[in-house]
């Protein structure tokens, strides 16, 4: 049978196989061992190995069987014209490890940087030395996320609870629900592509991701001295990730090319199947709940005036949460900080304007959320007894340092009398000045359209962007109301103002606090 005709038959059969895959898609779902591996496991499948057409000298019938839990592959081997394209060793993964690492690192950062409602009491009472009465010493109910410079006073307790929901919807401006992943091609091959080069063509596939975090935080603050507080925060975290890999396309045109050189069989998605397109690849999802990383904060006033208070402090985050399931960062973080609170004289109608400012620098150790994740080397026995090696699950994970973060916030409170306060802030994080963060970027490669007239086209998608530094900025819009006594209700919306890194566009917060 002529090679061109065979190639046409291969392509036709591949398209039929694609339709069949849609029917059996539910059977392809893979269960990840933990939440941090869900993304990679959406590209894990049981891969059949074996020739489709034994008449061709290109495809031997000697090797056939199943590769269990193999990573989704594109043919990239450097083979001779008579080599066996069924050999799994000639296939390599269209790597989404950088994307997985970028998302894991970003979630690790989010877990360590989720702004927590300031654990300083909204109502600060101190004893009047003349009358012995406890009187409020502050004119506002305080900021929401910016740490207040004032301490609560010796022997005083503050308890606060808050709830936050984070639904991440994009990474570096790309919608998580329709990411395109690009394999650029260009690997050496014995087969010529449509440009007359002995190299592979590019391929893309899509990922649909849903990433969510929920945090319920309980904070307890105690006044060790009049000007020294200690706070402990205990979070309960719920993480949920689902991922679907689909719509694999190899940009090889018709498979025949103008001069018969564009042999599409050089670009196939898995050994023995020779598909140009793959409608459904895999699906995985998992959610977990548990204790997050415990936060310990020590803060002391270094300046106290009627119009200004300055404090210094340190946050210590302990790795009590399970990093594998996105409940914690998996490492210890330390953040020294400075807090400044300013107060104006009361304006008309009891209005008080109070600017405030924080700056701190967080440093973290090594964690699996800062490292890389990839397939491990596996071996499968074929029907004829051959041993073949391939890349698949279980996945191998390395550790790496989480990026450092220079964090700052600036804003003001406006007190509407003693019972109501509006707080507005700008929060900024400069990520990775010392220990850079894993990033992804949009790349492109030249190929040939899969539809008539099979002309030259450009494939685009996310590729490894290496490690880099970037900024993230949010606006915080909050309201505090004194319900009764020292009981204060807090409502807030945190709105992302940029598209850098992993983005949750709007994060609501609800909280209650009480001083006694």
| Confidence (pLDDT) at 27 | 43
Helical spans, DSSP H, in 87-175: 97-113
Contact indicator for 42, 27 with CB cutoff of 8 Å: no
How many domains does the chain fold into?
1
| Confidence (pLDDT) at 13 | 37
Say if strands 170-171 and 174-175 run parallel, antiparallel, or are unpaired.
antiparallel
* Complete DSSP assignment for 299-319: EEEEEE-SSEEEEEEEEEEE-
Distance linking the first and last C-alpha atoms of the chain = 89
Which CATH number do you get for residue 424?
2.40.160.40
- 203-261 tens-digit pLDDT: 888 989 999 999 999 999 999 998 999 999 999 999 999 999 999 888 887 666 544 44
| Confidence (pLDDT) at 109 | 79
CA-CA distance, 378 to 395, in Å (whole number)? 10
| Confidence (pLDDT) at 29 | 58
CA-CA distance, 203 to 457, in Å (whole number)? 12
The ranges of the chain with pLDDT < 50 are 1-27, 53-59, 81-82, 126-136, 258-261
| Confidence (pLDDT) at 102 | 83
Domain range for 168 is 3-515
The contacts of residue 158 (CB under 8 Å, 6+ apart) are: 119, 120, 121, 152, 219, 220, 221, 222, 231, 513, 514, 515
- 257-275 tens-digit pLDDT: 544 445 556 677 777 666 7
| Confidence (pLDDT) at 498 | 94
Task: Spell out the SS3 assignment of 262-294.
Answer: CCHHHCCCCCCCCCCEEEEEEEEEEEEEEECCE
């Amino acid at each position: 049978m002529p090679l061109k005709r065979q190639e046409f038959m291969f392509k036709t059969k591949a398209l039929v196989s694609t339709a069949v895959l849609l029917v059996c898609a539910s059977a392809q779902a893979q269960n990840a061992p933990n939440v941090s591996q869900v993304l990679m496991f959406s590209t894990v499948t049981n891969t059949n190995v074996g020739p489709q057409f034994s008449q061709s000298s290109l495809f031997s019938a000697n090797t056939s069987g199943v590769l269990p839990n193999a990573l989704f592959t594109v043919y990239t081997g450097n083979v001779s014209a008579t080599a066996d394209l069924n050999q799994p060793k000639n296939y390599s993964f269209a790597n989404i490890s950088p994307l997985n690492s970028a998302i894991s690192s970003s979630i690790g950062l989010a877990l360590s940087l989720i702004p927590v409602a300031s654990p300083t009491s909204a109502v600060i009472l101190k004893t009047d030395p003349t009358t012995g009465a406890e009187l409020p010493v502050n004119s506002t109910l305080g900021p929401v996320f910016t740490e207040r410079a004032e301490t609560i006073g010796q022997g005083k307790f503050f308890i606060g609870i808050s709830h936050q929901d984070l639904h991440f919807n994009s990474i570096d401006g790309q919608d998580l629900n329709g990411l395109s992943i690009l394999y650029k091609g260009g690997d050496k091959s014995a087969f010529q592509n449509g440009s007359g080069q002995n190299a592979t063509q590019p391929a893309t596939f899509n990922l649909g991701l849903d990433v969510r975090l929920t945090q319920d935080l309980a904070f307890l603050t105690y006044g060790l001295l009049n000007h020294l507080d200690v706070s402990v925060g205990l979070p309960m975290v719920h993480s949920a990730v689902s991922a679907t890999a689909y719509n694999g396309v190899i940009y090889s045109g018709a498979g025949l090319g103008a001069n018969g050189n564009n042999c599409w069989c050089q670009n196939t998605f898995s050994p023995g199947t020779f598909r140009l397109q793959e409608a459904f690849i895999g699906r995985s999802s998992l959610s977990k709940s548990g204790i997050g990383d415990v936060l310990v904060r020590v803060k002391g006033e270094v300046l106290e005036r009627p119009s200004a208070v300055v404090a210094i402090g340190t946050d210590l985050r302990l790795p009590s949460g399970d990093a594998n399931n996105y409940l914690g960062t998996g490492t210890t973080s330390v953040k020294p900080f400075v807090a400044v609170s300013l107060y104006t004289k009361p304006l008309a109608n009891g209005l008080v304007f109070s600017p405030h400012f924080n700056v701190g620098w967080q440093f973290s150790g090594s964690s699996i959320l800062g490292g890389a994740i990839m397939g491990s080397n596996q071996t499968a026995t074929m029907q004829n007894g051959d041993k073949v090696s391939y890349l698949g699950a279980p996945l191998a994970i390395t550790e790496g340092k989480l990026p450092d973060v220079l964090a700052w916030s600036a804003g003001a409170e406006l007190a509407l009398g003693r019972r109501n306060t509006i707080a507005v802030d700008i929060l900024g994080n400069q990520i990775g000045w010392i220990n850079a963060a894993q990033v992804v970027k949009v790349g492109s490669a030249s190929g040939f359209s899969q539809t008539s007239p099979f002309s030259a086209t450009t494939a685009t998608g996310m590729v490894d962007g290496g490690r880099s530094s970037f900024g993230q900025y949010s606006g915080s819009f909050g309201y505090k109301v004194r319900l009764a006594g020292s009981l204060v209700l807090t409502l807030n919306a945190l709105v992302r103002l940029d598209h850098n890194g992993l983005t949750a566009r709007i994060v609501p917060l609800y909280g209650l606090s009480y001083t006694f």
